[in-house]
Amino acid sequence: MALAEVALLAFALIVAGFLLMVISLLLAARGGEARGEAGGVIMIGPVPIVFGTSKNAALAAAVAALMVLGLLLFLVVLLPK
């Protein structure tokens, strides 16, 4: 994959994230009550530290971290050069 393709993919993901935030804000403003959750993962070497405002947010963060780890493993180790 060329550098230009990776940069285009990164830009597309950023734009998609912003669009999702705008859609979420519009839906929350139109509706009444809105509830937000947040979660994240900090990787210190091979040890993940998963946190979240709820159990579901922490689980979603852990699943996303595993997906990113799998993609990284594929791109670095398994992808033929």
Q: pLDDT digit string (tens) for 10-23?
A: 999 999 999 998 98
| Alpha carbons 60 and 71: distance in angstroms, whole number | 17
Going from the C-alpha of 21 to that of each of 47, 54, 67, the distances in angstroms are 30, 20, 21
Is this prediction's pTM over 0.75? no
Q: Count other C-beta atoms under 10 Å from residue 61's C-beta.
A: 19
Q: pLDDT digit string (tens) for 41-56?
A: 898 877 788 999 999 9
Q: Exposed, middle or buried by CB within 10 Å (0-12, 13-18, 19+), for 39?
A: buried
